Structure 1
């Protein structure tokens, strides 16, 4: 392979890497673990670049290389005796049909087409569609809880509330500012937080979430924002679940179902 070709591949990977890292975080429930899988993928590509010569799109090729690593290594195993969110999640994950979570994340969080999922996971398109359907059904009934929404746009807040309630969860309230969010969280102690980044009084949803995590400890968080690039810099801890506006209902349903039992709650820098 020529130096020019190698440079071209590096540029293609660089453009898609933030999204691979997002997927890896959501899949593993941890930024650190997800990034280790992403690094292992890059190392494998350095040794064998053939996946980028297979006629696949650069994004599909990169995710396919990741899945070769992921499939050979298996899902991360929680340490014995651990009682973290990540450890408790493994109990739930062990009951899910094999490969369903991967297919669901590719479909809903990364917005892949079913034919692309099939290429990434080396299965048929029909199998990919079936895996996503099974995953949605299994994960939605796995955990129900109390959800808090931080969103300053009334129509969007109402839409998110409707989606969450239709899934069987209880919405404990909607906050429009950082101060309202902290007060509501302190009072209601929700099981899950859905948060926008930019709030009504120009306060920060990131700051609100950090305040709440300091106050309540481990609570899964999903960011739904029109500014995802603010949380995909690689320069600070990043959320396992990040949905871009405008969102699809199935994206919210997928993220909520998973984050209730498997999410990173690392503090975010302002």
Structure 2
């Protein structure tokens, strides 16, 4: 009995280490910190009620994300048929138009870096179908919206790389800022539809503080943060980003995050 309890305790500790990444994924999927966290919490409740969700034979991270998707699909993911209007209706309309499981597969691949075989395990499809879903997601979401992107990044080569990715996707870059002051001035001069920001800037100022100042003026603009230490922004102790890219990043991660953020921004600020 003690050995069994020890196995469960070890598995639980491994699951706990993966929770920041589940919250990151859930927030990107829903476009909301609060909604994403609710789904993450519901996943933990489901696991506590049914320990078989942490089945042996698969890694703790895959088991955790698979449990999340069981909750996600059961609750309607999260498209409903009730009487709604305004921004929520616009969001549901856009979501309903997408092929099932495409955004999920895209984020699992690009943001969490699961293999296609692992994605198949999580959302319970074949490996080749998982690969097809990712390709479909890019096509469908790239047709959905176009917008204006502000880049806050002090490393010239990284900033240029991000600019090229964003413009190749069909978006317009309003400019690149290297410091807090430059970022605020640029953002106030040209309103962005999306902000893509580094955490630590050239003059040791904070990208987080610059974004905070801009959001006082543009409350509904989505933000993608870039950091080498995502766990530091996923503590659950203060307001946290819905979209987060880990350095060093791959181009696909940027493309995916920008697509997701622009998709949700389109329910509020963009003409599509």
After TM superposition, the score normalised by the length of structure 2 is 0.92
Mapping 1:28-43, distance limit 5 Å: 28-43=30-45
Mapping 1:1-270, distance limit 5 Å: 2-77=4-79, 80-83=84-87, 88-262=90-264
1:210-242 per-position Cα deviation (integer Å, ceiling 9, x unaligned) = 101101121011112223222111111111110
Partner SS, residue 262 of structure 1 = helix
CA-atom RMSD in angstroms:
1.5
Partner SS, residue 86 of structure 2 = coil
Q: CA deviation at 1:87?
A: 5.4
Q: CA deviation at 1:7?
A: 1.2
Quickly say closer, same or farther: Cα 1:87–1:175, change in 2 above 3 A: farther
Structure 2: give runs of 5+ residues left out of the alignment. 266-272
Structure 1: give runs of 5+ residues left out of the alignment. 264-270
Greater alpha carbon shift after TM alignment, 25-34 vs 223-232:
223-232
1:137-187 per-position Cα deviation (integer Å, ceiling 9, x unaligned) = 111121001110000011100110011011111111000111111110011
In structure 2, C-alpha distance between the alignment counterparts of 1:210 and 1:19, rounded to whole Å: 23
Ranges of 4+ aligned residues in structure 1 off by more than 6 Å: none
Partner SS, residue 199 of structure 1 = coil
Partner SS, residue 131 of structure 1 = helix
Contact 1:197/1:227 (CA < 8 Å) preserved in 2?
Answer: no
Other-structure match for 1:268: none
Q: CA deviation at 1:199?
A: 0.3
Partner SS, residue 149 of structure 1 = strand
Q: CA deviation at 1:133?
A: 0.5
Contact 1:223/1:239 (CA < 8 Å) preserved in 2?
Answer: yes
Partner SS, residue 135 of structure 1 = helix
Q: CA deviation at 1:3?
A: 2.4
After TM superposition, the score normalised by the length of structure 1 is 0.92
